[in-house]
Chain A
Amino acid sequence: MRIVVCIKEVSSRESRYEVASDEAWINEANISFEINECDEYALEEGLKLKEHFGGEVVVLSVGDPRAEKVMRKALAMGADRGILIADERRQLTSPHLLGKVMSSALKDEEFDLVLTGTQSDDLSYAQTAVVLAELLSIPHATIIMKIEAEPEAKRLRALREMESGRFQWLELPLPALLSIQAGSSPVRYASLKGIMQARKKEIRTLKPEELGVEATAVPELEVVRLYQKKEERKAELLEGETGAIVEQLVEKLQKEAKVL
C-alpha cells in the first residue's frame, strides 16, 4: 500500500501562549514545536499498515520551513520519505488553501490511502482532512479509532467514534482518506537506528506557487484578533503550601459548598 500521512507541526502541549503584537498569531519566541497529537496517531496507523501489507509511507506537511525537524522525526519513526510545502509567508492558514496545496502535491502520487489527524492543536478547525478528500474526489471518514484494510480487494473498514460511547463501522473503497482520533493505538518511539536512517531519507520541498497558490491568494478565513479571556476564570484558586491548601479546601467543601 502507498499511504500518505499528513502531519502538522504545532506548538507543544506545555506551551505558555502569548499573543503576538499583530494579534493574529502567538509569539513563537519561547515556544517549542512537536507533531500535532492526533497526526502522530495517524502516522502510527500508517506505519502499522505498511508493516502488515508492505509498501511505502509518505509524510506530507504544510508549514514553516522549520517543520523539517518534525518531519525527520516521522522519518525516524519509519516513514519512507517526506514532502514539505514550505509556507514562508504564513499564508496557508485556512482549510481551503491548505486543501488546495495538499491536493496539488498529491496529484502525481498514486496513493491507496491518505491518513490525517482529526484536528490540529493550533487552529483546531477540524476541516482540512475532509476538504482534502473532496478536492481529491475520494471518500472519507472522520474520527477513526481502528482500521481493517483489505488492499487486495481495494477496500477497508474503519471504526468511527460517535457520541455517547458508541462507535460505527464504515466500509470504504480505496483510495480513501481517514482522519484518525488521538488514542487509536500506542505510538512508537523512534529507534536510534531509525534516527540515523532518517538523516538520509528524502524530503522534497515545494512552494505554494508551484501548487497553484499565488502570493495574492486570500484565505477564506482570517483570524482578526487572538486573545486571552482572563475574566472567565470561575474557580476560587487555592495555592501555596500543600497542607494549608488541603485544609482550606476541606473546610470550604464542608461549610461553603456543603458537599462533604
Chain B
Amino acid sequence: MKELIYVLVDHNGENINPTSLETLVLGQELAEKTGRRLHALLLGCNVRNLAEQLAGYEVDSVIYTDNALLEDYTFESQCEALSQILKTETPALLLMAHSYQNIDMAPRLSARLGKALVTDCVDFKLSEGELVFVRKMFRAKLYADVRVRSEPPWLVTLQAGSRFADALVKGSAKVIDRQVDLSSVEIKRVTGETVDFAKDRVDLSQAETIVAVGRGIKKQENMDLIRDLADVVNAEIGASRPVVDNDWLSRDRQIGSSGQTVSPRLYLAIGISGAIQHVVGMKSSQCIVAINSDRNAPIFNVATYGILGDLQEIVPALTKKLREIL
C-alpha cells in the first residue's frame, strides 16, 4: 500500500476554513513530490455536504466523520477521534492549519500518540528523500529547517498565508464515511458564551488610509504624534496588539489575526515589528510604509518603503512635510 498524507480540514459547520484550503495545497504538493496518496479528513456533525465540496479537489478520497460529539469543538473529542483514526490508518503525515483551534488540540494529540508535531510551518524542503519543515524562530527573525526524529505519523501545522488556495488542483474524489467511537470521551472543559469585541467596532476595512502604531511608540504620550499624522492624511488609526494591551487605543482598533483585516491604499506602520499575527491583517494593503529603528524588523519584508530610524524624530517631520503639501 502506498503511504498516505492526511489533511485535516477545519470548518464552522457551513464554510471551510481558508487556511485549511491552503493546507490542502501543501498536501497536493507533497503528494506529488513524494508519490504519496492524499486524503482530506473532515470531523463534525452533518458534514457530508462539506465533504462533497472537498471532493471537487484532487485528492484520493474525502474521509468524513459525523458524530454529535464533534459538532462543537472540544479538544477531548477531537483528540480521541483523531487518535482512533491515526492508530488504524497510520498516514505518513497529518497536515493541519495553524488555527487557534488546532494549536489548542494538536499538541495534546501529539503527546498522547507520542508522535512529533511541527507547528507553524511556512514551507518544506525535500532533498535526497529527506523531508524537513521550514518555520520561523527567534521572534520570526530567523528561519529554521526542522527535522522530525520520531516515527510517523508526523503532525504538521501550516501558517496562514503560506500557500495560495487558488492553486488547488480540481478533481473528483470519492467520499468515505468513517465512524469513530467517542463513547469513552469525558468532556471536562465546558464552552461558555462568546464575547465579541468586534461587534460594534470601528470598521477599518473601508479606510483608504491607515496609520497603525505598534510597540515602538514606547509611551502613551507619543500617541499624539500618531494622531497628528493621521489627521494630516485623513487616516483611521489602527494598532498592533501591544498598544491595545496597554489600553492606549481601544481593542476594536487592533489589526491582525485577533483583530481586523484591512487593505487600504496606504498603510503606515509605525513602530510595528511585523509579527505574523499583525501582518496577516494588513499585508494586502496597496502601499505599505514602515518606520522602524530595527533594520531586521520583519515588517520590512512586507513594506513597499521602509524608513530606518527613530519614530519620534521621523513622524513629526513627516507630518510637517505632508501638512505643507496636502
Binding site for B on A (CB under 8 A): 11, 13, 15-17, 19, 26, 94-96, 99, 121-131, 133-135, 139-143, 157, 159, 161-173, 182-184, 186, 218-229, 232-239, 242-243, 245-247, 249-250, 252-253, 257, 259-260
B178 contacts the other chain (CB 8 A):
no
Among candidates B106, B197, B289, residue contacting A166 with C-beta atoms closer than 8 Å? B197
Closest Cβ–Cβ distance, residue A175 to chain B (whole Å): 11
Which stretch of B1-9, B31-39, B132-140, B218-226 is in the interface?
A: B132-140
B145 contacts the other chain (CB 8 A):
yes
Size bin of chain B's contact surface: 35 or more
What CA separation (Å) do A162 and B191 show in the bound complex? Answer: 13
Among candidates B111, B150, B242, residue contacting A135 with C-beta atoms closer than 8 Å? B111
Contact check, A226 vs B300: say whether CB atoms are below 8 A apart.
no
**A129 neighbours in B (Cβ, 8 Å):** 107
Also in contact, A165 and B321, with CB within 8 A (given A172-B188, A221-B147, A227-B142) = no
**A16 neighbours in B (Cβ, 8 Å):** 296
Also in contact, A123 and B137, with CB within 8 A (given A227-B143, A235-B306) = yes
Among candidates A159, A229, A253, A260, residue contacting B195 with C-beta atoms closer than 8 Å? A159
Binding site for A on B (CB under 8 A): 75-76, 99-100, 103-108, 110-112, 114-120, 132, 135-150, 188-198, 201, 209, 233, 241-242, 244-246, 251-252, 254, 257-261, 265-266, 286-290, 295-296, 299-309, 313-314, 317-318, 321-322, 325-326
**A245 neighbours in B (Cβ, 8 Å):** 307, 309, 314
Contact check, B308 vs A142: say whether CB atoms are below 8 A apart.
no
Contact check, B321 vs A172: say whether CB atoms are below 8 A apart.
no
Among candidates A131, A232, A243, A260, residue contacting B110 with C-beta atoms closer than 8 Å? A131
Among candidates A15, A17, A235, residue contacting B300 with C-beta atoms closer than 8 Å? A235
What CA separation (Å) do A142 and B111 show in the bound complex? Answer: 16
Closest Cβ–Cβ distance, residue A26 to chain B (whole Å): 7
Contact check, A225 vs B145: say whether CB atoms are below 8 A apart.
yes
Across the A-B interface, give the 8 residue pairs with the lowest CB-CB distance, nearest first: A183-B245, A165-B198, A235-B306, A169-B192, A130-B107, A220-B116, A235-B303, A134-B111
Closest Cβ–Cβ distance, residue B61 to chain A (whole Å): 29
Contact check, B195 vs A168: say whether CB atoms are below 8 A apart.
yes
Contact check, A13 vs B192: say whether CB atoms are below 8 A apart.
no
What CA separation (Å) do A143 and B183 show in the bound complex? Answer: 29
Contact check, B301 vs A232: say whether CB atoms are below 8 A apart.
yes
Q: Which residue of B lies closest to A96 (CB)?
A: B111
Closest Cβ–Cβ distance, residue A150 to chain B (whole Å): 14
14 contacts between A and B (CB under 8 A): A11-B138, A13-B139, A121-B138, A124-B138, A130-B103, A130-B108, A131-B110, A165-B198, A168-B194, A183-B241, A227-B145, A236-B306, A246-B318, A253-B287
What 8 additional pairs, Cβ within 8 angstroms, besides A131-B111, A142-B100, A220-B150?
Answer: A121-B139, A131-B107, A157-B192, A182-B241, A183-B245, A238-B305, A250-B322, A257-B286
Also in contact, A166 and B194, with CB within 8 A (given A19-B142, A221-B116) = yes
